[in-house]
Amino acid sequence: MSVSGVDPGAVAARPQLIRAMNEQLLLEHVRLAGPLARGDLVRLSGLSKPTVALALETLERDALVQVVGRRTGGRGPAAALYEIRRDAGFVLGLDVGREYVRGALADLTGAVRARLSRRARSASARARVAELASLADELLLTAGVRRSHAILHTVVGSPGVLDPGRAALTMVGNLPGWERPAVLSEIRRMFGESTAIENDIDVAAVAERDHGHGREVSTFAFVSVGTGIGMGLVIDGKLHRGAHGVAGEIAYLPLGLLEADAREVRRRGALEAVASSAAVVRAARTQGLRGHVSARTVFAAAAHGDARARRVVEAEADLVARAIASIVVVVDPELVVLGGGIGRAPGFAAEVATRLERVAPFVPEIRASALGEDAVVDGCLAAGTEQLWERVIRSRGQRVSRRDTR
């Protein structure tokens, strides 16, 4: 310690820290508004021309930005235009469902390089993880990206909620064996430590916020009704997870208890036991529908005037409306977006809205998601891109810390 009480090492480190902060600032500007010339960055950042030039030189040397062209037509020489180097990092977004595994690969700018979907063939949890790994390998191969790339971040959208005490997922509902601790261990073994596990409906809500109807409002609920039932809640533009991460697990709302099988209620939750696609099929068979019956065929039959199928659809709309009524009186959302195979069925949103008027004091706008089957994957990419950027920014600060210790 010096006589003045100031650590000389800290004083020496200060310029390095400032340089790192300047680099972070310019990275954010280039990311959000690129391609940009040096003059643009001077104006946007408030930094001096020499400071911007030095920071850009460092970022270009570290393969984070690149020159993509020149701006012509103004006074003086043509100005070099900088953008984020797209291959500086990649995000794998993977959706593991009961019937399908889906995935996509995006670069650091968020541009999708490859997208694939496969019907799930595995019954065991371990084999399903292997299916995800195989899908990821195919995505990387299609995009021409090596798994050993310097920065690769993976986000897996999965049913359930992480239980930190067990290091395992819980409330996984319709994925047998998925709650075992070995599942998360195997996922991290396959994809590396830079892997995040996110609730599938939560990330679908993020996709809806960034790319869908959620762009128009600040508070909305994304309710998915299909092989499972769940909700992602966005309040004031931010995903709301709750104190234990279980906000949105509306499968456990105590609705339809009299009609539900007690074992199904314990395993999947009361609402999911009576309103999932499997429950729709059971109800249709009870009504007398025969042959190949699926939720899709039931809704199609109802649209073509089959009275039996129509009764099933009306009962389903009534259950979903009562669930949404519970959401309305607690959250008061501006909008409810319906996703999932049932939620996006033609005319179902209007059917739910009609029934909601009978049980709720206020009816928000009810709309079917326009994002389709890739909502979870797109949400994984959106969340993963933000997480990857945090890694990149963190790495700038870590470089300073490492230099300080030398």
Side by side, which strands form the sheet with 220-225?
A: 238-240, 229-235, 220-225, 335-339, 365-368
Predicted TM-score (pTM) of the model is 0.84
Tell whether the torsion through CA atoms of 125, 128, 132 and 134 is positive or negative: positive
Token pair 């968020």: residue: 110
Q: CA angle at residue 46 from 40 to 47, to 5 degrees?
A: 90
Q: Which residues of the chain have pLDDT under 50?
A: 1-13, 403-406
CATH architecture of 88-201+375-392: 2-Layer Sandwich (3.30)
* Long-range contact pairs involving 192-195 (C-beta distance under 8 Å, separation at least 24): 192/152, 192/154, 194/152, 194/153, 194/154, 194/391, 195/153, 195/154, 195/155, 195/156
Q: What is the DSSP letter of 244?
A: S
pLDDT of residue 13: 46
pLDDT of residue 97: 86
Query: Is the CB of residue 275 less than 8 Å from the CB of residue 225?
Result: yes
Query: Is the CB of residue 214 less than 8 Å from the CB of residue 335?
Result: yes
Q: What is the DSSP string of 22-64?
A: HHHHHHHHHHHH-SEEHHHHHHHH---HHHHHHHHHHHHHTTS
pLDDT of residue 32: 86
Specify the domain boundaries for CATH 1.10.10.10 within the chain. Answer: 8-84
pLDDT, tens only, 6-21: 444 434 447 777 888 8
Question: Would you state the structure tokens that stand for residue 67, as one six-digit string?
Answer: 């020159």
Distance, in Å, from the CA atom of 129 to the CA atom of 161, rounded to the nearest integer, reads 17
pLDDT of residue 9: 42
DSSP 3-state of 2: coil
pLDDT of residue 399: 57
pLDDT, tens only, 211-221: 999 999 999 99
Question: Would you state the structure tokens that stand for residue 273, as one six-digit string?
Answer: 């036991």
pLDDT, tens only, 327-385: 999 999 999 999 999 999 999 999 999 999 999 999 999 999 989 889 999 999 999 99
DSSP 3-state of 246: coil
DSSP 3-state of 203: helix
Specify the domain boundaries for CATH 3.30.420.40 within the chain. Answer: 88-201+375-392, 213-370
Tell whether the torsion through CA atoms of 394, 399, 400 and 405 is positive or negative: positive
pLDDT of residue 398: 59
Distance, in Å, from the CA atom of 120 to the CA atom of 331, rounded to the nearest integer, reads 35
CATH architecture of 8-84: Orthogonal Bundle (1.10)
pLDDT of residue 76: 66
Domain 213-370, what fold? Nucleotidyltransferase; domain 5 (3.30.420)
